[in-house]
Amino acid sequence: IDLALHDLAAGDRTGAAAGLDLVLAAAPDEPRARFYRAVVADLCGEDSAEATLRDLAAGDGPFADRARRHLEDRSRSTREASAADD
């Protein structure tokens, strides 16, 4: 997971996604990997991002909180972009 996050920090979304996909192939319920894979998916415009973030947000734990914050930030950004277009 850490190597994938390093890729993400370096701007390599494709590398980050591939690394996280490897982790999730071995441990599909790993919350940290699920969260960061959903964030990468969101950054890449993948349709699965919101559903995964909502699923994580409905649970408990630190990644549930992070997923909720990410969804709130995402919603706020969308509203602000919409207001700027008006």
- Collect contacts of 24-30 with beta carbons under 8 A, ≥24 apart: 30/1
Nearest by Cα to 66 from 32, 25, 24, 41: 32
pLDDT bucket at 77, cuts 50 / 70 / 90: confident
pLDDT mean over 7-18 = 97
28 contact partners, CB below 8 Å, separation of at least 6: none
pLDDT value at residue 82: 65
- Kindly state the percentage of the chain with pLDDT values over 70: 93
Nearest by Cα to 5 from 22, 77, 15, 74: 15
pLDDT value at residue 1: 96
pLDDT value at residue 86: 62
pTM of the model: 0.86
pLDDT bucket at 65, cuts 50 / 70 / 90: very high
pLDDT mean over 58-85 = 85
* Continuous H helices in 1-86: 2-9, 13-26, 31-43, 48-57, 62-85
